[in-house]
Amino acid sequence: TFQFGSGAYAFSGQGTPGQLACAYADEKASAVISCPSGQTITCISFASFGVPAGTCGSYAQSATCHVGYTKAVVERLCLGQNSCSVLATTDNFGEDPCYGTFKHLAIQAVCAM
């Protein structure tokens, strides 16, 4: 199963308490990450454009269909923001990791003060 839309979940990772926020979007739609009021996106702990599997807190990238620099693109757009929207398109990520396959974008971020 996949996490559709965005949601906030309790999370404490790397010894730094924070709020886990996830978003999932079909190809040509936008994945929207939103932090609680007063918090910003401090870390992108997972991002995959291709055919990611799993749910918020346990996403996994595909071995055969994943843009390797998805996380860097999402970090550039989202770090330091209260919320951000990332378009799930091959144009946005610069390549098509698996031509002819319908792709998705999964993002997992940490929100903190």
61-103 pLDDT, tens digit each: 999 999 999 999 999 999 999 999 999 999 999 999 999 999 9
Residues 2, 51: Cα–Cα separation, whole Å: 11
Residue 98's Cβ-count burial label (10 Å; 0-12, 13-18, 19+) is middle
Residue predicted with more confidence, 37 or 10: 37
- pLDDT band per the 50, 70, 90 thresholds, residue 17: low
Q: What is the pTM of this model?
A: 0.84
Q: Which residue has the tokens 């269909």?
A: 65
* Mean predicted lDDT score pLDDT of the chain: 87
pLDDT at 15: 36
Q: Poorest-confidence range of 7-21, 46-60, 67-81, 83-97?
A: 7-21
Instruction: Tell me what percent of the residues of the chain surpass a pLDDT of 70.
Output: 85
